[in-house]
Amino acid sequence: MVRPQEEINEQTLFWRKVLSALFYGIASFMITVINKLVLTTYGFPSFQVLGIGQMVATIVVLLVAKKLRIVNFPNLEFSILGKIFPLPLIYLGNMFFGLGGTKELSLPMFTALRRFSILMTMVLEFYILGVQPSFSVQFSVYTMILGAIVAAMHDLAFAVRGYVFIFLNNFFTATNGVYMKKKLDSKELGKYGLMFYNALFMIIPATLFAYYSGDLHESYYYKYWDDPLFVIQFSISCVMGFILSYSVVLCTYYNSALTTTIIGTLKNICVTYLGMVIGGDYIFSIENFLGINISVLGSLVYTYVTFRRKQSVSYSPISTTEVKSENIV
Chain segment 175-206, per-residue pLDDT in tens: 776 777 666 655 667 778 878 888 888 888 88
Q: Tell me the C-alpha distance between 145 and 74, whole Å.
A: 40
Distance of CA 266 to the CA centre of its chain: 11
Does residue 283 carry a pLDDT above 80?
Answer: no
Burial of residue 3 (CB within 10 Å: 0-12, 13-18, 19+) is exposed
For residues 208-215, average pLDDT: 85
Give the per-residue pLDDT at 21.
84
Q: Tell me the C-alpha distance between 298 and 323, whole Å.
A: 23
To 5 degrees, how large is the angle CA 278–CA 48–CA 92?
110
CB-based burial, 171-191: b 16+ in 10 Å, e otherwise: bbbbbbbbbbbebbeeeebbb
Does residue 310 carry a pLDDT above 60?
Answer: no
| pLDDT grade for 313, boundaries at 50, 70 and 90 | very low
CA-atom Rg of the chain in angstroms: 20
Top-confidence residue, 319 or 239: 239
Distances from the Cα of 126 to the Cαs of 162, 168, 306, 319, 321, in angstroms?
29, 20, 17, 15, 10
For residues 5-28, average pLDDT: 78
For residues 93-121, average pLDDT: 76
- Supply the mean pLDDT for the chain: 76
Contact between 58 and 144 under an 8 Å Cβ cutoff? The reply is: no
Contact between 75 and 192 under an 8 Å Cβ cutoff? The reply is: no
Q: How far apart are the first and last CA of the chain?
A: 22
| pLDDT grade for 235, boundaries at 50, 70 and 90 | very high
DSSP, res 70 = S
Reduce the DSSP state of residue 208 to 3 states and report it.
helix
DSSP, res 128 = I
Reduce the DSSP state of residue 67 to 3 states and report it.
helix
Residues 6+ apart with CB under 8 A from 294: 143, 144, 146, 147, 150
For residues 105-114, average pLDDT: 74
- What is the maximum alpha-carbon separation in the chain? 68
- Residue 86: cis peptide before it, omega within 30 degrees of 0: yes
